Structure 1
């Protein structure tokens, strides 16, 4: 970051820190990465994370409360997708770092 950008960061620091906090749990981060690829059901999130359905539901409740996901209900199934551009941008930056080997053993 350039020093001239620090004033811009200061304006948005609290929002950005809040979004990073949302991403700070490993399983929740995995769920967000999958949601960034497109809609996903609760059952798929259970399979991906290895958490119980109630564990996944607790994480999804937090994500809904933070307004970072969109929920679509179809019959008995709830479909989730990421709607927050800040989190999506951070996920994409992490992918670049992992692909470039910057994080060691991603």
Structure 2
């Protein structure tokens, strides 16, 4: 491998590390992580998410805004209701791994 290719490979690795770090920072907030876990089960309305998670509207809207700005969720409007769903398929793989490692009742033995 020549020096130019090594520099290019390192830049690709830095870019990938930056993207991964951004997603991990987003997941570092328990409310956002819980929101993504709920959305990994399928599309949910804002009202459903509010009821399931017990988050008040301002906090819920703020956390959904962060997830939307990071490109992790997408919205769909149906009349006055807004529905959220996972936008980035990679996040489902990551959530599945976190579930296996940390969720109650998933330990073997």
Gaps of 5+ in 2: 1-9
RMSD: 1.8
- Aligned match for 1:16, one of 17, 20, 35: 20
TM-score (norm 1): 0.80
Aligned length: 95
Contact kept, 8 Å, 1:71 with 1:80, in 2: the verdict is: yes
**Which whole-Å CA distance do the structure 2 matches of 1:22 and 1:70 have between them?**
15
Contact kept, 8 Å, 1:46 with 1:56, in 2: the verdict is: yes
TM-score (norm 2): 0.78
**Which whole-Å CA distance do the structure 1 matches of 2:62 and 2:15 have between them?**
31
Matched position secondary structure for 2:74? strand
The answer for the alignment partner of 2:45 in structure 1 is: 41
**Which whole-Å CA distance do the structure 2 matches of 1:67 and 1:22 have between them?**
11
The answer for the alignment partner of 2:83 in structure 1 is: 79
The answer for the alignment partner of 2:36 in structure 1 is: 32
**Which whole-Å CA distance do the structure 1 matches of 2:107 and 2:15 have between them?**
31
The answer for the alignment partner of 2:60 in structure 1 is: 56
Deviations for 1:6-48, whole angstroms, at most 9, x for unmatched residues?
A: x785551110110111111111100001111110011111112
Matched position secondary structure for 1:38? coil
Runs of 4+ aligned residues of structure 1 deviating over 6 Å after TM superposition are none
